[in-house]
Amino acid sequence: MHPAPSVIIFTTFSGLGFGLLCWLGLGYPDVTGMTALAFFAIAYAMAVGGLVASTFHLGNRKNAIYAFSQWRTSWLSREGIMAVVTLLTFAPYALSLIFAETVIPLLGYVGAMFALITVLTTSMIYTQLKTIPRWNMPLNPVLFLLYALAGGALMAGEAKVAGILILLLTLLQIAAWMMGDGRLSAIGTDKGTATGLGSIGNVRMLESAHTARNYILDEMVHIVGRKHTHKLRIIAAILIGAFPALLLLLTPAGHVTSFVALASHILGVIVGRWLFFAEAEHVVGMYYSRG
Partner 1 sequence: MTALPAHTDKKLGLVIDLDTCVGCHGCVTSCKGWNTENYGVPLSDMDAYGADPSGTFLNRVFSYEVQPEGKAAQTVHFPKSCLHCDDAPCVTVCPTGASYKRTEDGIVLVNEDRCIGCGLCAWACPYGARELDQAAGVMKKCTLCVDRIYNENLEEVDRVPACVRTCPAGARHFGDFADPDSNVSRLVAERGGMDLMPEQGTKPVNKYLPPRPKDTMEAANIPDLKPVTTEASGFLGWLDKALEKL
Which residues of this protein are in contact with partner 1, per CB under 8 A? 1, 57-61, 63-64, 66-70, 72-77, 80, 125, 128-132, 187-189, 191, 193-197, 199-210, 212-216, 219-220, 282-284, 286-287
Q: Please report how close the Cβ of residue 85 comes to partner 1 at its closest, in angstroms.
A: 15
Residue 79 to residue 169: CA distance in whole angstroms: 23
Nearer to partner 1, 132 or 145 (CB): 132
Nearer to partner 1, 110 or 190 (CB): 190
Q: Is the peptide bond before 29 cis (omega within 30 degrees of 0)?
A: yes
Nearer to partner 1, 201 or 252 (CB): 201
SS (H, E, C) 234-279: HHHHHHHHHHHHHHHHHCCCCHHHHHHHHHHHHHHHHHHHHHHHHC
Residue 152 to residue 141: CA distance in whole angstroms: 16
Q: Please report how close the Cβ of residue 132 comes to partner 1 at its closest, in angstroms.
A: 7
Q: What is the CA radius of gyration of the chain?
A: 21
Q: Is the peptide bond before 252 cis (omega within 30 degrees of 0)?
A: no
Q: Position 181: which residue type?
A: D
Nearer to partner 1, 58 or 84 (CB): 58
Nearer to partner 1, 73 or 138 (CB): 73
Q: Please report how close the Cβ of residue 86 comes to partner 1 at its closest, in angstroms.
A: 17
Nearer to partner 1, 75 or 147 (CB): 75
Could you tell me if 127 and 141 are in contact, meaning their C-beta atoms sit under 8 angstroms apart?
A: yes
All residues at 6 or more sequence positions from 31 whose CB lies less than 8 Å from its CB, including other chains: 39, 97
Could you tell me if 134 and 184 are in contact, meaning their C-beta atoms sit under 8 angstroms apart?
A: yes
Residue 127 to residue 120: CA distance in whole angstroms: 10
Nearer to partner 1, 76 or 267 (CB): 76
Q: Please report how close the Cβ of residue 185 comes to partner 1 at its closest, in angstroms.
A: 12
Q: Please report how close the Cβ of residue 249 comes to partner 1 at its closest, in angstroms.
A: 39
Residue 82 to residue 98: CA distance in whole angstroms: 24
Q: Please report how close the Cβ of residue 157 comes to partner 1 at its closest, in angstroms.
A: 36
Q: Please report how close the Cβ of residue 280 comes to partner 1 at its closest, in angstroms.
A: 10
Could you tell me if 120 and 83 are in contact, meaning their C-beta atoms sit under 8 angstroms apart?
A: no
